[in-house]
Chains A and B, each alone.
Chain A
Amino acid sequence: MCPSEVSEIEHTIWRPYTDQGVMVFGIGSEDSQSALLNFRNSFGLTYPILYDGNGQVHAQYSLQSAFPTAAYPQDWIVGPDGRIVYANNGFEPDEMRFVIEQFMGRE
């Protein structure tokens, strides 16, 4: 469910970890720019919402082939070295926090 997912990213990932150096991007490629803007505003999201209008980034991340469905959300975590460390086609905020915490612990 999108509403609770983006709220949960906002409140349990972006806000608690942004001071510790974690960056969060929301990326939309299936909605218009204005729809994304309205969505951002109505949910009070404070992390950047990127507009991937031609689906270029979406394609780069090879989601169609990597995941059995093109369903949303798709969450990825890129490590400090620029490598993909986590990819999930199901929303698992606790797992994402777990992965993020691993970086916190090693720094």
Chain B
Amino acid sequence: MNVLEGRQAAVRAGDTLCFVAFPPGETGGLPDPGMPAGGTANIDVIGAGHYSIPAGGRVFHRFDKAGAFVVRGEYRRPDGTSETGSMGVKVSELRLGGDLAAWEGKPRAWHCPRLPDGVVLEADPCFGLDGSLAARPGGATYDLLVDAAEDRFILARLGSHGPVLASMAVHGLNIAGVSESGAYYTGEYPDGSRLVQTAVAPSRILNDVRIEMQIIVGGVMFDDGTLVRVLRAGDFDDTRLARVNFIMPPGALTSNCHVMRAYQDLACLGEY
């Protein structure tokens, strides 16, 4: 970019820009081997670097940090005359957050961080996000909805069709529970209580997703005597299946009624 042309640039942290300093029109805007010899160019990325090079040379400067930078340039001819100019460089940095999990067909909350000016969100077309999100630059909570138990992606671009500033994967999953697996009497104990087994089978195992089952009917318990069972990644076998045992005490007339919720950290992915 020719600093003397006074343009504005928007780049991502970590991007490198190539600067020249040359009077517009004198060489058609590009360093020209035929330019007068002996001139010099000074390019000052204020606060970040100063470069003095032979006229016609190029400076490659990497912007490591986000912020608004001013780049000043000076072209000094061999006869001592000079021309100066400056340009602005806006360096953006954004982290959308770690990868998310979402339960197919169940909206989950996602807090989108504040978006730098000009940043546009894009999402897979079959994903429950659309371009209207870009109109909420101040940070907001949205419902994410995956349409299938597959990965979906969100991109943050520097302007429409611009470079990708940040990206985030949303790992869609499905969780089969008692409705799909069935519930089986597997035994009756001498005291008359019955052991009932059902299965929980996520379509994929994600290390930071846990499944909480809570019994909602009187008398029924998990086989450790409790009302709540938490299933984590390590509780599933190689076929992604966890067998869950319920004890139905004598006199229990209903089924092993329970609710099943999935969580990623504090975020609830849905209820079954």
Chains A and B bind each other: no
Chain A residues packing against B (C-beta within 8 Å)? none
Binding site for A on B (CB under 8 A): none
